[in-house]
Structure 1
């Protein structure tokens, strides 16, 4: 599975003429992203629900960063995949 994620991203980078992405710590550039780097980038994307008597009162989402958004696009994952279901 890791190899598929890496392949998809690297092919998309080539297709979009992107030589590097700032995936290393301190936003240093990376020419050959790994699945570990991608997952680390999304490790803080979380959602919390405030529930009262089994009813959701409010949903708190961490907004996607300016790097996460285009990375999702390169991977073919729509941003709304991170939105709560209706």
Structure 2
């Protein structure tokens, strides 16, 4: 598993030699990637554990809504790419909030992550 995460760091995230002159900045940069990898691993673990607990064999997160038995964090998070949240302000006062309706698969993913739909939107 550790090797997989290091491979992701070099491929998906394109972590390459950086042009920072300060060693502390390089360390901080790589630490942020490390935190991102931990979060990704936790998302995958929680989804898979809850799929097993709830007898969900697969979820449709591949292109063309094909089923996936072992979802990756990349596929899970990509299902939320279309989410939009806009606050309409007039004179500095919020008059309306416009947001994307969640799809059924997004609702299922949130449920598998034990995230209530009303908590997904930070403004509530």
- When normalised by structure 1's length, the TM-score is 0.92
Residue 72 of structure 1 aligns to a residue in which SS?
helix
Counterpart check, 1:58 vs 2:96: yes
| Greater RCO, 1 or 2 (C-alpha within 8 Å, sep 6+) | 1
Higher normalized helix content (fraction of residues) = 2
Residue correspondence of structure 1 range 1-86 to structure 2 within 5 A: 1-83=39-121, 85=123
Aligned-residue CA RMSD in angstroms? 1.2
The size of the alignment, in residue pairs, is: 86
Looking at secondary structure, tell me which structure has more strand per residue.
1
* Structure 1 residue 84 displacement after superposition: 5.5
Segments of 5+ residues of structure 1 without an aligned counterpart are none
Higher alpha-carbon Rg? 2
Which structure 2 residue ranges, 5 or more long, are not aligned? 1-38
TM-score by length of 2: 0.65
Structure 1: distance between partners of 2:54 and 2:120: 24
Distance apart, 1:82 and its partner CA: 3.0
